[in-house]
Structure formats: C-alpha cells, structure tokens
Structure 1
Amino acid sequence: MCARYRMVRTPNPTGEKKKQALHPRVVPLGTLHTDDLIEEVENRSGISGADIKGALRVLADVVADRLEQGYNVEVENFGFLSVSLSSRPVMDKKEIRSESIHFKNVNFRCGKYLKSKLKTMDLERMPEGKGVLPPFGERVRRLMEYLEKHHYITCSDYRELTGCSKYRALEDLKKLIDEGKLEKNGYRSTRVYSLPSSEKH
C-alpha cells in the first residue's frame, strides 16, 4: 500500500487574489493509536505489549521531566524534541517578568534515520473531482478492512479513509449502526465506532 497525496494551493498570506503555487500534501489514511503500534511491535519483536506500554509511559515521563528542566532531548532513530515558549509582545526585555512567560508547545525535528526510511516512500495521486467518492459498498469494504487492524475508528478517520464529507460520513456510520454492523461508544468529541462486541476477535 502506498500513501496518497493531493495538490493543494495555500491561500495568499497577503490577501491578494493572485494564485499561489500548488504543492503536494499527504491525504492521511487514518490515525494509528498507541495500542495499534504496540500490537505491531509485539508481533515483530516478541516483547510483550504490557512491557512496551510500560516502557513508553516511563519514556514519556522522563522526556517531559528533562524538557521541563530546559534540556533538548534526542530520541535515537526518531528525532529531537525541544520546548517553545510564549509571552505578550514587548519591545524591551525589561518590560516582562519570568512569571509572564509560559510553555507554548513541544517542537519535533525529524532525525536522520527516520528521514532515510521515508525518502523512498511510494506515492500515488488521489483522484480529484465530484465523481471521486467511492460507492457505499466500497466505503464499507475499506471500513471493515480498517477495523480488522484497529480497535475503533473516529468520524474524522472515516472521512480520511473514504473521502466523504462530514455529513455523508455521519450518515454512513448511522446506517451501519442501524444495520447492526457497527456500535458507537464515547460522547460527542470522543465518539468512536467499532465492530459489535459479538464480532470482535
């Protein structure tokens, strides 16, 4: 399976009507969550899922502690993590005190190993236009294939998987729930969809 992309045009930051150049952007196939990755690592390595999950949790805690102390952190084969800060705009450094400066985000810079693994990735252009939306049967096939590898899917993931609008995605998911092919869990922004309990492996 290869990644899909589409050509997009970034809005002109100046607000002028002159068209900006097109550039490629990956169309996500979906979102893999920690449990999905743990299952794959477990199958490849023989290390237990519980050990992997525990190690990841400890690693996250250690990284957070070191970032909080002011270190940049390199995670071998992945990349570098650093903290960014925010404050109100000032013209002179004397105009602001340390209490007014806050954490903003964690920056990630990809390492050489990860870059080298992705340099030869296969890509195909995603078809554009109104006739692109796959038939309902094909959308369901993609969904079931996805749920064979993942515990659940979100509405956003389903839209990325099928190219549906939000309205069409919700209608599809509701129809499949009514037919007993899916069940929903969670509430509003945390809602997820999965196979009925009787069909889960």
Structure 2
Amino acid sequence: MAIKFKSLPRKNPQDLVAPEKFYASAVGDGEVTMDSLAEMISYQCTVTEADCYAVLISLEKNIVSELAQGRIVKLGRLGNFQIGISSDGMITPEEVNASSITKTRINFRPGKKLRLLLNDLSFKKVG
C-alpha cells in the first residue's frame, strides 16, 4: 500500500508577491476510530472489545490530564507526548512571561518501530 499525496500551491510567506510553488501534501486514506481499534485489539488477545475500548478511553483521559500538568507522557515503544510552546522573542530574559507565548502544541516523538516505518513507505500521486 502506498501513501497518497497531491500537489498544492503555496505562497512564500517571506515574499508574498513571488509566484506560488507546488508542494507534495499527504492525503488521508480513511480513518480508524477508537471503536475499530478496540475491536482489532480484542481479536489479537483475550481481552474483550468493551474492555479494550474502556482502556483506550482511560488512556486518552490520563494522557490529557498528565499533559495538562506539564508532564511528559512516555508510552514505552509507542513514543512520548509532551506540550510544546512558541513565543515572541524578547531582548532580556526578564521580559519573557506567559503573555509572550504565541502558540501551544502537542509534540509526539515516535518510538523506534514508528520511526522505522518512515523508511519503508511508498507514495502514489492522486488528483
């Protein structure tokens, strides 16, 4: 199976009058829900689908709670989640405060198997 992509035009944010260039953009090919994951997991072990779903829901709630407390959430071989921030640059360290923060995000650092997946991907242009 190949990862689908299409070409999309983008302007240069540093030179808005420059002509657009085209860049590859990954196209999602369906989705998998928590229900589907719970069902798949239940077929791969002795745990019921309902139990798998309950664990996945609890995992989500606990990840959110721990991230909100500023903790790094380490999920073993799967990878790590952590809050990331961006801020405006200031002249002195004293000027940097909470109002300097301009953007927040959740960073995910994949484990080894997920990173290695990237080496084996193939691609197919669509549209």
Fold equivalence (TM over 0.5): yes
Q: Distance in 2 between matches of 1:6 and 1:96?
A: 41
- Whether the 8 Å contact between 1:7 and 1:23 is mirrored in structure 2 is yes
Cα distance in 1 for residues equivalent to 2:56 and 2:30? 22
Higher helix share: 1
Is 1:113 matched up with 2:86? no
CA contact (8 A) 2:6 2:25 kept: yes
**Unpaired runs of at least 5, structure 2:** none
CA distance in 2, matches of 1:50, 1:110: 27
- Tell me: CA distance 1:87–1:19, structure 2 relative to 1, closer, same or farther (3 Å): closer
Q: How many residues align?
A: 125
What is residue 16 of structure 2 aligned with on the other side? 15
CA contact (8 A) 2:11 2:19 kept: no
Larger RCO (CA within 8 A; separation ≥ 6): 2
Larger radius of gyration: 1
For residues 92-140 of structure 1, the C-alpha deviation after alignment (integer angstroms, 9 at most, x for no partner) is 4544655x577833222222211213421332221x3xxxxxxxxxxxx
**Maintained 8 Å contact 2:34/2:56:** no
Aligned to 2:45: 45
Decide which structure has greater strand share. 2
Aligned pair in 2 of structure 1 residues 37, 19: CA closer, same or farther (>3 Å)? same
Q: After TM superposition, list the pairs within 5 Å mapping 1:1-201 onto structure 2.
A: 1-13=1-13, 14-20=15-21, 22-85=22-85, 91-95=91-95, 100=99, 104-126=104-126, 128=127
- Measured after TM superposition, the shift of residue 15 of structure 1 is 0.4
Secondary structure of 1:60's counterpart equals helix
Between the aligned residues of both structures, percent identity stands at 22
TM-superposed deviation, 1:61: 3.1
Name stretches of at least 5 consecutive residues in structure 1 with no aligned partner.
129-201
Structure 1 34/95 Cα, relative in aligned 2: closer, same or farther at 3 Å?
Answer: same
Q: 1:59: how far off?
A: 2.1
User: Within 2, Cα distance between the matches of 1:11 and 1:101?
Assistant: 27
The root-mean-square deviation of aligned C-alpha atoms, in Å, is: 3.0
Q: Is 73-82 or 1-10 further displaced after alignment? A: 1-10
Q: Measure, in 1, the Cα distance between the counterparts of 2:53 and 2:59.
A: 10
Alpha-carbon distance in structure 2 between the residues aligned to 1:61 and 1:10: 37
- Secondary structure, aligned partner of 2:56: helix
In structure 1, the residue corresponding to 2:83 is in which secondary structure? strand
| Residues 32-67 of structure 1: CA deviation (Å, up to 9, x unaligned) | 221122222222334211211222222223323332
Secondary structure, aligned partner of 2:5: strand
- Please tell me whether the aligned partners of residues 85 and 101 of structure 1 are also in contact (alpha carbons under 8 angstroms): no
Q: CA deviation at 1:12?
A: 1.4
Shift of 1:87: 6.6
